[in-house]
Chains A and B, each alone.
Chain A
Amino acid sequence: MSDLAQSREKQERRNRWLLLTPALVILLIAASGPLLITLTYSFLTPGDYGGVEWRFSTEAWFNVIFQRDIFDDTLGFADAHLSILWRSVKLSLMTTIGAVILGFPTAYFIATRPPHSRDIWMLLIMIPFWTNLLIRTFAVMELIRNEGTVNSLLIWSGVIDQPIQILFTETAIMIGMLYVYLPLMVLPLYASMERLDFNLVEAGYDLYATRFAVLRRIILPLVKPGLIAGSILVFVPSLGAYVTPRVMGGGKQLMLGNLIELQFGQGRNWPLGAALSITLLAIVMVALIFYVRSAGREEVGHG
C-alpha cells in the first residue's frame, strides 16, 4: 500500500516537472540565462568594434564609478556616470512622491464609492496602464512641446508670449514617468484602502480629531503596506526607464537606461554596459526584497 502511494507520488512529481518544462525552458533561454551571460560579459575586455574579447578584466566595474585621467593616469570619480545615476534616483524619487500626491486621494475616492462601481473606477485607472507606454509618452510629449497644446493655449490667452521650454528637460521626464506609472501607485493603495474599516475613521471624527489627525493617526498606519507597495512599484520601473527619458529627454537628459544603451551603441563598451545593467538590476532587487519583506509582514495582495 505504501509502495503504491510512493509510486503515485513519484509520478505526480514527474508530471509536474513535465508540465513546467516548456515555460521554464523558454524563460531559461530568454530571461534568466542571458542575465548570467551579461554578468560574465561585465568581467571581460571590450572589443574594438563592440562585442568583447575573452580576457578577464575588472575594468568595467571600476569604470562604473571611477575614471582614469587619460593624461596623467590619476583617478577620479566618473562624473558623467555619477550625475546620470543621481538624476535617475532623483527623478524616480520625485516621480514616486508625485504619484503619492495624486494617487492617494484617487485611491481614497475609489475606495469610498459604492462597491459595485469601484471596479469600473479601477478599470478607468487600469485602461491607460495597459495601453502602449510609448503612445502614452508620445501623447504627453505632444501636449508639452513648444508648439504643443499647453504652450499654444498659454500664448493664445496672452499669459506668455514665448513658449515655455518643458520638453527635453528633467521636468519633462518626470512628468512623463508620473503619467505612465501613476496607475501602479493607485492599484495597491486601493487594495489596502478597500479593506479599510471606515468606522474607525468615523470614530476618530466623533472623538474630535481634526482631518489631519485622522489622516495621520488612523488612515496612514492602516494603508501603509499599500503605500510602500505602490511606492516601490513606481520607483522600480522609473529607475529602469528607457523609453520615457529617451522621448522626453531628447537624448540630452540621460537616465541609467539610456546610459546602458549608449555603451552598446556609440560607446562600444559592452562590458561597461553589462556592468551598469547588473548595477541597475542590483538596486531594483534590493528595492523588491524590501517590498516582499514589508508585504509579507502585512500581507498585502497586488497584481
Chain B
Amino acid sequence: MANSAKGFDVRKQWGFTTIAAVCFVLLYLPVVLLVVYSFNAGTSVAIWEGFSLQWYRSAWDNQQVQEATVRSLVLAFWASLIATSAAVLAALATTRVRPFKGYSTVFAAINQPLMVPEIVTAVALLILFAGIKVQTGYTGLGYLVLAHSAFCIPFAYLPIRARLQGMDLTLEQAASDLYASPFQVFRRITLPQLWPGILAGAMLAFVISLDDVVITEFVKSAGQDTLPTYMLGQLRRVVTPEVNAISTVLLAISVTMVIAFFFLSRVKK
C-alpha cells in the first residue's frame, strides 16, 4: 500500500464526518426554526405567513410576561451575586493551598447540586420551605433567592477555581514581603488577576438561574412565576408564536453570555 504513507489520512473518516454534520444540523435546526417562527405574521408555529414583530409586541404588552421577566432578572441578579461572592471565598480557601483534612468533603459539598437530580432537590426544598412558610407566614422571593444561590454556587466556583489555579503565588508573596496587609494583597494583587474568572463564574451563575425551571416550579409561591415557569404553564394551552418570541429573547441573553464566557475563559492562555 504505497498510498498509506501520504495519500491516506486517518483524520478524514467520511462516514464520521457525515454523522458529525448531521449532528450539528440536528442541534441547531429546531432552535433556528423556533427563532424564525417568532417573526411569523400568522398564528402558527409551523406555517410561514410573512414577517412581523407582532408577537414580540404582544409579549411586551402582556402584563404577566412583564412581571415574570422582572422577577427572573431580579432573582438571577441576587442569586448570581450571592453565589459568586460565596464561591470566590470558597475558591480562595480550597485552591493554591496545601491539602487539608476534609478537602474532598468540602469539594463534594460544593458540587453537590451538580450531582443530585434537580427533581430530588426540588421536592426536598418544597418539603422544607412548605414547613417554613406555614411557620412564619413569609411567602416572598427569599426562598427562590436562597434555592437559586445554592445551585448556582458550583457553576460560579468551577471557573473561579480554574482561573485561580493558573495564577502563581509569587506576586502575592512579593507583596507580603513588602509589608502589604492580607487585605491589600487580595485587593491589589489577587482580585485584579482573578477578575476574569469571577466575571465568567457570575455570568454562568446568572444564566443558570435565569434558565431554571424545575426547582423554581416547586419552590415558588402562588403568583411567583419566572419566565421559564410561565412558559411551562403556557405549553398546556394552544401554542402561539408569542412563546417563540419570549424564547428567542431568553436564547439571545444566554447565547451572548455563553460566548462572552468562552472568550473570557480563553484569555488566560
Contacts and interface: CB of A to CB of B under 8 A. Distances in A.
Interface of A: 12-13, 15-17, 19-24, 26-27, 29-35, 37-38, 41, 51, 101-106, 108-110, 112, 119, 123-128, 130-136, 138-143, 145, 147-149, 152, 179, 182-183, 198, 201-202, 205-206, 208, 211, 236-237, 239-240, 242-243, 246-247, 256-257, 260-261, 264, 270, 273-274, 277-278, 280-281, 284-285, 288, 303
B130 A51 contact: yes
A110 B20 contact: yes
Given A105-B20, A135-B251, A280-B120, 6 more contacts: A23-B157, A26-B153, A105-B19, A135-B247, A142-B46, A274-B123
A51 B15 CA distance: 56
17 contacts: A22-B86, A32-B112, A35-B116, A35-B120, A105-B17, A108-B13, A119-B262, A131-B250, A131-B255, A131-B258, A134-B211, A139-B34, A148-B45, A202-B10, A236-B117, A242-B119, A288-B115
Interface residues of B, number: 95
Contacts of A15: 93
Max chain A Cβ within 10 angstroms of own Cβ: one of B45, B218, B239: B45
B123 A277 contact: yes
A57 B164 CA distance: 49
A179 B258 contact: no
Q: Is the interface of B mostly helix, strand, loop or mixed?
A: helix
Interface in B1-53: 1, 4-5, 8, 10-13, 15-20, 22-24, 26-31, 33-34, 37, 44-47
Contact of B117 (A13, A201, A257): A257
Given A106-B24, A135-B34, A205-B8, A38 B112 contact: no
B110 A240 contact: no
Contacts of B123: 38, 260-261, 264, 273-274, 277
A273 B16 CA distance: 44
Q: Is the interface of A mostly helix, strand, loop or mixed?
A: helix
Interface of B: 1, 4-5, 8, 10-13, 15-20, 22-24, 26-31, 33-34, 37, 44-47, 82-83, 85-87, 89-90, 92-94, 97, 100, 106, 109-110, 112-128, 130, 146-147, 149-151, 153, 157-158, 204, 207, 210-211, 213-214, 218, 228, 231-232, 235, 239, 243-244, 247, 250-251, 254-255, 257-259, 262, 266
A292 to B, nearest CB: 10
Contacts, number: 263
A26 B113 contact: no
A281 B89 contact: no
A33 B147 CA distance: 12
